[in-house]
Structure 1
Amino acid sequence: MDSTPIKANTKLNNPKSFSKNKFSKDNQPKSDKDCKLGVYSASNDSSNKRYKFYWGYKNHIIVDAISGLPIAETTTPADVPDFDVALSLLADTNNWFKLTGTNFIADKGYDVKKLYNYVRNTLHGHCFIPLNKRNSKNPPLTDDGYIVCEAGIKMLKDGKQYFDGFIKQKFVCKFCNSKDDSACPIQHPKYFNGKKHRGCTKYVIISSDYRSSINRDSLYFKAVYRLRVESKR
């Protein structure tokens, strides 16, 4: 599945237009009251992404990755997220064209848990979607799964908290129980917090859901994901 931008017929989309704030949400084009402000990638280079704003719509399409034939499509204002459309379009399509056991292939714009859960639990299929790093708020970890503090010292694991679909791993300062005021090499303010357990505390989210179980480095994942090119044609 993929989407493509459709520009509205307005002078604000003209690159030669020098109107002030032409891509401000408050500057609705007078020639098209239904279009919305959207953004799309103007470069395929993942190391140097360039984005462009436009007024208009988006066309969303489900394509058979083998034959290249379109199965379903819909058009929305440009500000509607791709993943929201994917959920509704998949559900509507499944009512008249059974998608049971489907391999859902899409780019990282569709990397949201509710879409994974729908494909897995309702369609009993599999997702082939790259991780969107913007959705990850975890600090970097060492190879053995520990956080390194600002002083360059490996923090200690201090228990887990269990939630629906994910686990929070707690990390504490190596010197959290120390009475030595000079133990922290950078004299971090949190080391002098006046509490029984001193120093920094950090958390890492350990997902236990379907999205996190996918091996995106496998040859199988990469081979199937390459079929996404059909939706770009």
Structure 2
Amino acid sequence: LPSYSVFRRFIKNLSNSFLKEIMKNQVNILKDLGFIDNKFISVDATPVKANTKFNNPKSFSNNKFSKNNPPSSDKDCKLGVHTANNSMNLHLSEDKTVNSKKNYEFYWGYKNHVICDAISGLPIAEFTTTADVNEVSNLTEILASTNEWFPLEGSYIIADKGYDSKQNHDFIRYTLKGHAFIALNKRGTKKHNLTSKGNVICDAGLPMHKDGKQYFDSYIKQKFCCPFRTSKDDSLCPCKHDKYFNGKKNRGCVKYITIGTDYRSSINRDSIFFKKIYSLRTESERYNSRWKNLNTEQAYVRNINSVTNLNTIGHICL
């Protein structure tokens, strides 16, 4: 066999477009044979850790997960966050803090985004990015790129909360003419206690009164006011709220509820139909598990072109 350096140069210098063409030909052949179609499409991403000591949990380097201290062994990798729960969007700030109560971990490396046939469990397309690329901002790009050679018009696109956004829903519905089955990401929205008629319950436990609406392009803000806002009696508020004694003509609390009017807000995620289609997303989890068995979750090369080529070869093998 040739030496390791020969393989290393080959995998680094080979253009990924050649491997992508091989994978496209495989997918098109499977499509013609009826093994793959575009009816149910599942999208997911999995982390690929860079080959650097900073990803070793036994490493005690100072500031090993600081943006200002990138690893010298792999200059292409970026700092990312991996979490087992996508109920919240995680964003890195300059001081590398993350506002989330979920279990997560920092890592230096890349991400591999995979589009699968949710029935056969076979990959259709894959893309490798650095770890700092957010899934929610990348979905339209990978769907549009795949749609150029594998038609996704009318497809049911299935994805987890990490891909939830108005832009992604509108692209699937109005550009691809398909349907989005993406779990809702509340992104820190306030949860109000409501009465059976939909009125907000204030801090004192009283139902608030509706007080007009504000209309915007894709949502409506319903305003609620204190039931005693015009009263002059200081003893009516059970909790003696500070805003009840604001000295203004209209006293008391004011709360708002946002009512979406776009496609994303119109989806009934509690319906049996939505849950049945969304359950097909587990096929992506199964495929990711098979792909990781090829030892692709840990990079053994130290540049993005080599990582990208090895990832594509892994998908071609599967």
TM-score (ref. length: structure 1):
0.93
Find the residue that maps to 1:98 and give its secondary structure.
coil
Confirm whether residue 34 of structure 1 aligns to residue 34 of structure 2. Answer: no
Q: Which runs of 5+ in 2 are unaligned?
A: 1-42, 87-100, 288-318
Q: 1:189–1:135: structure 2 CA closer, same or farther, 3 Å change rule?
A: closer
d(CA) in 1 for partners of 2:205, 2:224? 14
The alignment-based identity, stated in percent, is 64
Q: 1:203–1:29: structure 2 CA closer, same or farther, 3 Å change rule?
A: same
The answer to whether the Cα contact below 8 Å between 1:138 and 1:205 also exists between their aligned partners in 2 is no
d(CA) in 2 for partners of 1:82, 1:135? 18
Of 44, 56, 61, the match for 2:114: 61
1:16-31 to structure 2, matched below 5 A, reads 16-31=58-73
Instruction: Tell me which residue corresponds to 2:140.
Output: 87
Shift of 1:138: 4.6
Give the partner amino acid of 2:127: T
Find the residue that maps to 1:96 and give its secondary structure.
coil
Residues matched between the structures, number: 230
Confirm whether residue 225 of structure 1 aligns to residue 267 of structure 2. Answer: no
d(CA) in 2 for partners of 1:162, 1:43? 34
Confirm whether residue 207 of structure 1 aligns to residue 275 of structure 2. Answer: no
The answer to whether the Cα contact below 8 Å between 2:54 and 2:71 also exists between their aligned partners in 1 is yes
The answer to whether the Cα contact below 8 Å between 1:42 and 1:52 also exists between their aligned partners in 2 is no
Q: Which has the higher contact order (CA 8 A, sep 6+)?
A: 2
Q: 1:121–1:176: structure 2 CA closer, same or farther, 3 Å change rule?
A: same
Instruction: Tell me which residue corresponds to 2:215.
Output: 162
Confirm whether residue 179 of structure 1 aligns to residue 221 of structure 2. Answer: no
The answer to whether the Cα contact below 8 Å between 2:214 and 2:220 also exists between their aligned partners in 1 is yes
Give the partner amino acid of 1:146: N
The answer to whether the Cα contact below 8 Å between 2:199 and 2:207 also exists between their aligned partners in 1 is yes
The structure whose residues are more often strand, as a share, is: 1
Instruction: Tell me which residue corresponds to 1:10.
Output: 52
d(CA) in 2 for partners of 1:221, 1:182? 49
Which has the higher mean CA deviation after the structures are superposed, 62-71 or 120-129? Answer: 62-71
Q: 1:34–1:149: structure 2 CA closer, same or farther, 3 Å change rule?
A: same
Shift of 1:23: 1.4
Find the residue that maps to 2:148 and give its secondary structure.
helix
CA deviation profile, 1:132-169 (whole Å, cap 9, x unmatched): 13253353433331211111111111111111110000
1:57-206 to structure 2, matched below 5 A, reads 57-206=110-259
Give the partner amino acid of 1:206: I
Shift of 1:63: 0.8
The answer to whether the Cα contact below 8 Å between 1:61 and 1:72 also exists between their aligned partners in 2 is yes
Shift of 1:3: 0.2
Find the residue that maps to 2:67 and give its secondary structure.
coil
TM-score (ref. length: structure 2):
0.69
The answer to whether the Cα contact below 8 Å between 1:100 and 1:124 also exists between their aligned partners in 2 is yes
C-alpha root-mean-square deviation of aligned residues, in Å?
A: 1.7
Which structure's CA Rg is the greater one? 2
The answer to whether the Cα contact below 8 Å between 1:146 and 1:155 also exists between their aligned partners in 2 is yes
Of 37, 47, 52, the match for 2:105: 52
Give the partner amino acid of 1:32: D
The structure whose residues are more often helix, as a share, is: 2
Instruction: Tell me which residue corresponds to 2:307.
Output: none
Find the residue that maps to 2:128 and give its secondary structure.
strand
